Amino acid sequence: MQPDLLRYSCQMALPGFDEGTQDLLQNARVLIVGTGGLGCPAAQYLAAAGVGTLGIADFDTVSVGNLHRQVLFTPEEIGQMKALVACEKLQRQNPGIKLVPHVLKVTSANVMELLQEYDLVLDGTDNFDAKYLLNDACVLAGKPLVYGAIYQFEGQVAVWNVKQQGSFSPNYRDVYPEVDASQVPNCTEGGVIPTLAGMIGCMQANEVIKYITKTGDVLAGKMLLVDAQTMLSRIIKIGAVTKTSITSLSQTEEVPTVSPEELQQGLEAELYELVDVRSLAEREAFDIGGEHIPLAELDEEFHLTTEKPVVFYCASGKRSAEAVKRLQKRYPNRQMISLDGGLKAWLEQL
């Protein structure tokens, strides 16, 4: 056996999996958006399996709070760009494949061009805006999307928008037409057991391999639910064909942000007003001052009484960004800002 195929001999020994099947993997182009708890294990196994081209899209840097579940990274890499670190490590893991870093935030302005170079997309993102954007873009581009999501002890996996006999399987909006993001904390705020991230990320990689090699039954038209506490799982059937009509992308809303360093300097100069949009329990544990209005109460309780720019903060920057989006509509001529990275970044960088 050739040395480059010897590496894959164990998977090529599988029933129905031969050199031709391995060629399908070698010729495949997969885009992974987000190298967090899901993207890290998924990328490692897809690289190991011999997917010929892996694109890694991420605009974030490694932080100490990532390390318990983002298994590609080490403390020495804190502050470095995730996409670059991931590609460098995965290239060393498998020199026979091509790694393409995309150090950017995926938005409505660049997502369609980004997708053109790939056969399918793996969703490793951690927020609803990104998930809806990827879903809608893949529908418009006619490409499958391997979805994964985790929260606390529970995870979900599905494959959206698979073309079958001239029609497409359901997509994210068939299951979740829209979600109030303010009511669902992310991993930083609600917590997640690290092993669940590995489980769901590996399951996503498994769906990618099944789809590329045309082996097994991919999770199209259904969703796998996993409970890491009980180790129980079940599959929910969604349907064979999508019932949604997506004709355009929603424009990505850009939220003005301020870094922890800039905020600290601004507070010392009394340039900003602060609003904490976390829960009461989070507020009692630690705060950096300002008025406290939980995000769920913001619409009723927030009243603009200052001429200064208002900086909203939470644990990770997700809820504060949502606060800015809401209040920019109410006060279009006033400056509303989100603390970039939230208190997590504040504590790590100051």
Is residue 202 annotated as part of the catalytic site, yes or no? no
In this prediction, residue 181 carries a pLDDT of 55
Buried-state track 108-128, b at ≥16 Cβ within 10 A, e below 16: beebeebbeebbbbbbbbbbb
Which one is the CATH code of 3-237: 3.40.50.720, 3.20.20.70, 3.10.105.10, 3.20.20.370? 3.40.50.720
Could you tell me the residue ranges of all domains in the chain?
Answer: 3-237, 257-349
Strands 232-237 and 222-227, by their bridges, are: antiparallel
Model pLDDT, residue 176: 93
The one catalytic residue among 40, 87, 138, 314: 314
State yes or no: is 187 an active-site residue.
yes
pTM: 0.86
Q: How many helices (H) and strands (E) does the chain have?
A: 15, 15
Residues 200-233 have pLDDT tens digits of: 999 999 999 999 999 999 999 999 999 999 999 9
The number of residues in the chain equals 350
The low-confidence residues of the chain, meaning pLDDT below 70, are: 1-3, 179-190, 350
In terms of CATH, what superfamily is 257-349?
A: Rhodanese-like domain (3.40.250.10)
**pLDDT tens for each residue of 159-182:** 999 998 889 999 999 999 986 555
pLDDT value, residue 1: 46
Nearest CA-CA partner of 338 in 290, 266, 271, 275: 275
How many C-beta neighbours within 10 Å does residue 219 have?
25
